[in-house]
Structure 1
Amino acid sequence: MERAGEDDDTGSGSRRRSRSMSMGGSDATSTMSGGGTTAVKQHQALRLVEDLSLPSVQVVVMSANMGCSHCRQRVTKVVTKMNGKDPTDISF
């Protein structure tokens, strides 16, 4: 005779395991078989964390009506607030 509770526990356990695997949790690496694949997945996760730094170059593109004196003042105000700007190209 089967108990309904056993089926539910087994199903929810597999759901938990698959959810943690998709989110990259530590439980996923411990439940996987084949020790070699576990080390590779952890190495890939660490490699992706390294790439979270800000890029060394950022490009800002603005579109403004430069014929209007008020718009020119607003663009000047925005550009002066930017930090670390070396080259500035303004094309009309």
Structure 2
Amino acid sequence: MDAQSQFLVRESLVGTEASQRLAALDEKRAQFEQSVQSYMLVRAEIIENESLSEYDREQAIAELREPLFDSSQIRRIEALERIHDQNSALTP
């Protein structure tokens, strides 16, 4: 369903104000997902860089994480990293 159709359905169910808040939440979630995807790509490059020590990789990832995510999101990102790493380990 496109954004306009979704808004109209929501509007009929919960009203205009709630529909606007939900649309704003959808946008915020989409931006967060885009940030996570970009972050994970760069993180993967850091992990694959064999010229860095394990400590340097961890430091580089922490430095990458800081400007992209606020302190309330760091634990969420770390959990997403673990899930991503576990899923990556399962696929050849």
Q: What is the TM-score normalised by the length of structure 2? A: 0.29
Which structure features the higher share of helix residues? 2
Which structure has the higher relative contact order (CA within 8 Å, separation 6+)? Answer: 2
